[in-house]
Amino acid sequence: MSDTLTLPAEARERAGKGASRALRREGRVPAVIYGGNEAPISIHVEAKELARQLGTGHFLNSIVEIELNGKKLRTLPKDVAFHPVSSRALHADFLRLSADSKVHVEVPVIFVNELASPGLKRGGVLNIVRHELELICESDKIPDDISIDVTGLDIGASIHISHVMLPAGSVSAITDRDFTIATIVAPSSLKSEEGDTAVTAA
């Protein structure tokens, strides 16, 4: 899984839109920590540090230890609201985690061994239906990504969730169907040739 991130924070004494606007003017981002059968905690964090961590590309799938009043609170970022024009962070939500927590996350999919796929070597196209998988993971075993091997797959092949060996501690959040993750389709040139052949034969 991604390395644990550390985010210093301070308690937010006042709530409301006016107080939040004042914090943003000071280069801070209002946030809240909730869950774990405890009362929510209103906090604020440094905007520049939050932006830096968001820039890692895996912030929302990382454990974030929030340093507050000398204590470290283990959390998972659940949502970040952005300004529609400037794209700066306006507010963040963090889910408090216990040692045995399970979390719902979206994990990126990567495809490997494309040179060992007969279909792709013949000019086929890897048509990715899902770039991320929704998983239920143990909070200390969130994978960085899910690797799918396309060795031996030819044109017309489909990869479903049932074909994927998920890492220990992870299961698919979607259980009512064997959904498609990717297919290998014929290149447009091959489709055109097949179409021309069919017309000629007719």
* Ordered alpha helix ranges (H), the chain: 17-25, 47-54, 118-121, 188-201
Residue-by-residue pLDDT tens, the chain, 202 positions: 556 789 999 998 777 788 888 899 999 999 999 987 888 999 999 999 999 999 888 888 788 999 999 999 999 999 999 999 988 999 999 999 886 788 888 889 999 999 999 999 999 999 999 999 999 988 778 888 899 999 999 999 999 999 999 998 899 999 999 999 999 999 876 555 555 444 444 4
Greatest Cα pair distance in the chain: 79
**Domains assigned to the chain:** 5-98 (2.40.240.10), 103-197 (2.170.120.20)
Task: For residue 28, give both structure tokens.
Answer: 């801070």
- Alpha-carbon distance 191 to 94, whole Å? 49
Tokens 């299961």 found at: 171
Residue 170: CB atoms within 10 Å: 20
